[in-house]
Structure 1
Amino acid sequence: MLKTNKVFIDTQTYVKAGLHFEGVAFKAFHELCVKGDLVLITTTVVEREVKGKIEESIKDALQAINTVQRKARLLNSIDNGSLHGFFQQFNEHEIHEAAQKVFDDFLKGCHAKLATIEVIDLNEVLDKYFGKEPPFGQNKKKSEFPDAINLAAVERFVNDEDVYIISEDSDLKNYCDGKNNLHQIDSLDKFLGEYNTHTNELSNKLMQFIESKREDIRADVIAQLNDADGYNVSTWEDAELDSFEVVNIDDFEPSIIKIDNNYCLATFSVSVDFEVTVSGPDFNNGYWDSEDKVMIPMETTTRTEVQEISFDIEIEVMYEIEDGELTDIAFDVNIDKLSRGIEFSIEENNFEY
């Protein structure tokens, strides 16, 4: 049985999702909040942290665009309509406002309840800090003050009632372990999986089907990854990706995040090991050009390494229902952002800096 319909989402969860509030898990959660099935609880600390992260991400993105525009300025002189828009100047203020509005609209659409921080007892927070208690821990991490304030505000808001805390933060987990009414879950996907297990009678049957197709799903993921585009983004100048291949895929735990109108959506994250081969200039055995003050490579060299990368996977299940049983079942496996290619990072030297 579901313990409560109240949910607090930590800043870390928003950041891990890439601040993408239109992602499948956030959209499914939003729909449940709109229907009144779930209640989102937030704090001003979370709002400020998330908006700060949004601002940082936009700043980094605009700097990257400006860098590319400078390096590609020759293309700006080409009379080509397809390139014209790329070199237009961006209104940074409008971009920041639009991005912040997406988060505001998400909270507003979810009818989020604000747990105010004005009512918390700061002495209790400080006692935990100096007492090396969770979420601060033995090292008295000052960085945990926002989490401590959030938890204190949420506890006051729910007033001993149950609430789900969505976060992977280990110190926050330790804090929740000592509380009977705080139920920590690692991710929004896993929470939605638990929600559907307890509220939709089809969930168990759909999960049984997905489990029966585990090896097919694994094979499909491997095939898609091996067929994808890839590139090397290391500091090894002029190095190029020769080949890559999946050599291992970790076990995975799908969570059903949505069941609606003969359609089911399940998600999971999985770590994958690739054997990656990259070739590039052999700077280690080049010669130093004292005039230009650069290393001149004479030969090329090749490196092969195993690199681990994590992927978010979606399983779409389409079905009919006859006499309470699933029939005409079909499924598709999609790997999030795979169309952008796989980003590897193989250096000429494996020094640890």
Structure 2
Amino acid sequence: AARAGGVRQKNVSKTTMGIDGLRALNVFVDSSIFIGKNYNYMHSSFVALKEAVLDERANLLVTDVTIEEIKANIYEDVGKASQALRKIRATAKVLRNVPSLNESVVFEDIEQASVGAQLVEQLEQFLKDAKADTVPVAEADTRFVFDCYFKKSPPFGYGKKKREFPDAFVLSTLSEWAESMQEDVIVVSQDSDMLGIEGQFPRLSVVRSLEEFLSKVTSYFEELAPTAQQLLEENLEEIESQLEQQFQWLGFILADQDGEVNETRVTEIGGISAYLIALNHGTDGQPAEAQFELTATIEFEADVSYDNLETASYDSEDKVLIPWETVERTVHCYEIVQADLSLQFDTVHPYSVEIEELNLHTPKDVSVYAEEDDGWPYK
């Protein structure tokens, strides 16, 4: 097959592979997912997607327009990162006195073109490793796309939203591919304008996260999936305990005042959602391993202290404010966290289970605000 940008060009006569008589699930991953995961192809969900493709459980589709959109966002984000580094140099100037830090990325301009090219190369390598099939947008039904625009149908919606034309052409391309193959395609996108596309594109359906798609794959192919899900629910108390412990070790930053976060206390862990993204059977008597991606809402109290600038006096000689009072208060906060969870369990009753690993990976630091939002606990 011909190649474009290191990614295979799709031959529409090719049938989708599968295992055990079950056909692989076709999936298209929107640019919003790549951006949301910071182009990190070592993320557990990207790794699980690649493994699902190699195991012939999934078939990854991309379009040439989507690839170019991701590349454009990479270069844009590199530019933003470069500007952010320049802005903090004055504040971080004391670090120049540390020999090991003087030549760090903070104090040296990055070569944006070179850095962007490296990230693009990583993207192309991931698509190659995941055997992504490229469907050219030239296959799109242009007239149908404009009909959707004038009728305000998804992905255009109210106001017609001209910026949605690239998405509309991508969806039309995927729809044409699906009709020609007589197969369905699952679209993974965080774009709310994608919701409701089934009415215009009957063979397309939307899920909001890569983890949700991977959970569908695992449930479709794995007989042990319900058992793994049940064991997760039976061990939620221990999982919550480990989440709380790891959360307390994060960095807490007072974002809206010049002050400190002195102490934090978790008050509640709720809203846990868990997607089973991979399941490996044990061999030779070894236990099975289930990999989950967890999302949870953690509510907590934070004791903060900061200078009260409202009562400060102004030193005209040094041209600085001199605070005379320190504010100490407790604020109520919440944070949405994500974690990787690995459960090991015996494959025969009574299913002895062990939490092999729980890694809270997002966020790394938590911003605390002295002025609480009126919309607490909803952002």
Query: TM-score normalised to the size of structure 1?
Result: 0.86
| CA shift in 2, pair 1:232/1:223, >3 Å | same
1:300 aligns with 2:326: yes
Q: CA 1:219 to 1:351, structure 2 compared with 1: closer, same or farther past 3 Å?
A: closer
Q: 1:336 aligned to 361, 370, 376, which one?
A: 361
Matches within 5 A, 1:1-353: 5-78=25-98, 80-81=99-100, 85=104, 90-159=110-179, 161-176=183-198, 179-225=201-247, 227-236=248-257, 238-260=258-280, 261=282, 262-288=288-314, 295-321=321-347, 324-325=348-349, 327-331=351-355, 332-337=357-362, 340=364, 342-347=365-370
Rounded Cα–Cα distance in structure 1 between residues aligned with 2:108 and 2:155: 47
1:196 and 1:349 map into 2 onto residues whose CA distance is 41
The change in CA–CA distance for 1:288 and 1:121 in structure 2 (over 3 A counts) is farther
Residue 9 of structure 1 and its aligned partner are, at CA, apart by 0.8
CA distance in 2 between partners of 1:304 and 1:209 (Å): 37
The whole-number CA distance in structure 2 between the counterparts of 1:124 and 1:289 is 68
How far apart are the structure 2 equivalents of 1:295 and 1:145? Answer: 52
User: How far apart are the structure 1 equivalents of 2:236 and 2:330?
Assistant: 30
Structure 1, unaligned runs of 5 or more: none
CA distance in 2, matches of 1:20, 1:326: 38
Work out whether residues 13 and 167 of structure 1, in 8 Å CA contact, stay in contact via their aligned partners in 2: yes
Please say if residues 254 and 261 of structure 2, whose CA atoms lie closer than 8 Å, have aligned partners that are also in contact. no
Q: Which residue identity is paired with 1:272?
A: I
Give the Cα separation in 1 of the matches to 2:23 and 2:320.
Answer: 64
What displacement does 1:326 show?
6.6
Tell me by how many angstroms 1:36 deviates.
Answer: 3.1
AA matched with 2:191: D
**Mean alpha-carbon deviation: is it higher for 297-306 or for 278-287?**
297-306
Match of 2:261, SS?
Answer: strand
Distance (whole Å) between structure 2 residues aligned to residue 101 and residue 218 of structure 1: 39
CA shift for structure 1 position 219: 2.5
What does residue 18 of structure 2 align with?
A: none
User: What letter matches 2:253 in structure 1?
Assistant: N
Per the TM alignment, residue 348 of structure 1 is displaced from its structure 2 partner at its CA by 5.5
Displacement of 1:171: 2.0
Identity %: 25
Q: Distance in 1 between matches of 2:267 and 2:69?
A: 38
C-alpha contact 2:339 2:358 (8 A) present in aligned 1: yes
Q: Which amino acid aligns with 2:263?
A: S
Shift of 1:253: 2.5
Distance 1:60 1:312 in 2: 25
Q: Deviations over 1:253-272 (max 9, x none)?
A: 31111112432211121222
In the superposition, relative to structure 1, how do residues 92 and 34 fare at CA in structure 2: closer, same or farther (>3 Å)? same
Greater helix percent: which structure? 1
Offset of 1:164 from its aligned partner?
0.6
Aligned-residue RMSD, C-alpha? 2.8
CA distance in 2: counterparts of 1:165 and 1:285, whole angstroms: 55
Distance in 1, Cα, partners of 2:372 & 2:277: 43
Per-residue Cα deviation, 1:178-207 (whole angstroms, up to 9, x for no partner): 543212112111111121111012212111
CA–CA separation in structure 2 for the residues paired with 1:248 and 1:3? 42
1:325-348 Cα offsets, whole Å, 9 max, x none, are 47542113221146x4x3213146
- Residues of 1 paired with 2:255 and 2:101: CA distance? 29
2:369 partner letter: I
Q: Write the letter of the residue equivalent to 1:346.
A: Y
* In 1, Cα distance between equivalents of 2:141 and 2:317: 66
C-alpha separation in 2, matches of 1:345 and 1:242: 11
Could you say if the C-alpha distance between residues 222 and 349 of structure 1 is closer, same or farther in structure 2, counting changes exceeding 3 Å? closer
Are the structure 2 counterparts of residues 49 and 273 from structure 1 closer, same or farther at C-alpha, using a change threshold of 3 Å? Answer: farther
* Distance of 2:109 and 2:158 partners within structure 1: 50
- Check conservation: 2:340, 2:359, Cα contact below 8 A: yes
Q: Which runs of 5+ in 2 are unaligned?
A: 1-20, 283-287
Partner Cα separation in structure 1 for residue 154 and residue 173 of structure 2: 15
Equivalent residue pairs, number: 345
